[in-house]
A = this chain, B = another copy of it.
Amino acid sequence: MNLEDIARKAGVSRSTVSRVINDDPKVSAKTREHVWEVIRRENFTPNPAARALVTRRTEIIGIVIPTVENIFFTDNNYFTQILAGASQMARQNDYAMLLWLGELTEDEERLRQSVSNNRLVDGVITASLTHDHPLFKRLLSLNTPLVMIDRPLEHDDKISYVSVDNIRAAELATNHLISLGRRRIAHITGNLSIADAQDRLRGYKNALTQAGLPVDPDLIVPAFFSRQSGYDAMRQLLPRKPDAIFAAGDTIAVGAVQAAHEAGIRVPHDLAVVGFDDVDVAAQAFPPLTTVRQPVQGKGAAAAKLLIDLIQGRVQAPQHILLETELVIRQSCGAKNPLKG
């Protein structure tokens, strides 16, 4: 079933059917309605391959989640939420969504090829792409529309991205701990090759300085966004006797709490803990985590919307969008009025 068939059944020419489908104004209301009727009756959809061949557009956006660690070690539903947000926005705009997930290292070159040689998509979203990943340079040199989720560490002035104000958000978290009377506040960082992690570290330092507290290097432990990493970091911190932890991610915080428990340290009594993200594990942790909520689905949705706007020429790159964060108080910080988890 193709345009020709519909045309015959409707008693018009192929071009007219095409015009009807593409909302071309110069077609009489009468024929338009008639043709639509036939299309609906026959349950016809134009062949996207043929369409793409001539329009040079596929109406597909790609989303790339590139690194091994993201998929296998992050251990939370961050990426599910990113995908949910992007998917919904794409569908609302009649775009389909192609997914590339980075996996084993051996596959990395193949992924890079697959993404960069690809003519299947009108534009690309990346999530948590680090500037040292081979795809980074490639995607920049391509002239496909590109939107990054999470600010890139390099060339961020030339790249469109969607993120949150991580510095302010980290200040928020740290100030909260300060306001609870904590004074030896430690920070477990995320992967510092990611701008988010760097910004959260900066926000932590800012808050201490502004409160007149010392920034003690011994209380800053670099880690990655994983539970094991948070666990290890906490064990390093134990002898330094912090009274609070600001962790750069919820999964890190969960690992830290586990190490604290094993050492007989009570959370929040002996140690107040604040995480970041508000992904699934935050509310499910014991005790439920106080954390900085960032709108993860919102980031996915905003990235998709921005990408589509770029594709359709409604806006010009680069564009930077920062979404709002919010402190969610549960039990791990020991504040008086915790919300229900």
Contacts and interface: CB of A to CB of B under 8 A. Distances in A.
A88 B98 CA distance: 14
Nearest to A99: B99
Contacts of A98: 60, 96-99
A281 B110 CA distance: 31
A237 B286 CA distance: 21
Contacts of A52: 49
Interface string A1-43: 0000000000000000000000000000000000000000001
A103 B87 contact: yes
Considering residues A58, A71, A101, which has the most beta carbons from chain B within 10 angstroms of its beta carbon? A101
Interface residues of A, number: 55
Contacts of A261: 286
Classify the secondary structure of A's interface with B. Answer: helix
Contacts of A84: 71-72, 101, 103
Contacts of A88: 101, 103-104, 107
A207 interface: no
A318 to B, nearest CB: 26
Contact of A53 (B47, B119, B284): B47
Contacts of A49: 48-50, 52-53, 58, 119
Contacts of A286: 257-258, 261, 285-286
Contact of A280 (B63, B258, B281): B281
Nearest to A286: B286
A51 B175 CA distance: 58
Contacts of A341: 258
